[in-house]
Amino acid sequence: MWPVVMLLFGGGVLFVKKGLNYVKNQGIQMNGKRSFFPSAFNKNLNNLFLKNDLKGFERNMSKSEAFKILNINPTTNKEKIREVHKQLMLKNHPDNGGSTYIAAKVNEAKDILLK
């Protein structure tokens, strides 16, 4: 009995994998980017899988990037900037298992905004 169940389960997994590959390969171009789903699907669903919003850090940090890193708006006062910086550093400090790169970017963002 169990061998049959396992065989059916494996066949189902293979079927789903092949089906997803087929859907992915049948995607069309949307705004110059390959779509994971055919045009019958919603554009918002497409954008969810394309991750259009995700970008790396800029070479030279701008004020707008600093605001994004600290997750604050441009009207935030200096006291709040220091408070947000302190909270982020407590969470991302390398001594507590955080990334040295992220900690450096958080410090750089604070420095740019407090100039």
Convert the pLDDT of each residue in 68-114 to its tens digit. Answer: 889 999 999 999 999 999 999 998 888 988 889 899 999 999 999 99
Residue 26: its pLDDT value, please? 64
User: How is the chain split into domains, by residue range?
Assistant: 2-50, 63-114
Tokens representing residue 51 in the block: 């991750």
Q: What is the largest CA-CA distance in the chain?
A: 72
Tokens representing residue 27 in the block: 């995607």
Q: What CATH homologous superfamily does 63-114 map to?
A: DnaJ domain (1.10.287.110)
Cβ–Cβ < 8 Å for 84, 70: yes
DSSP bridge pairs for 34: 29
Closest CA to 109 of 77, 55, 62: 62
The residue with tokens 């293979």 is 14
pTM: 0.51
Convert the pLDDT of each residue in 23-62 to its tens digit. Answer: 666 654 444 555 555 554 445 445 545 554 556 666 788 8
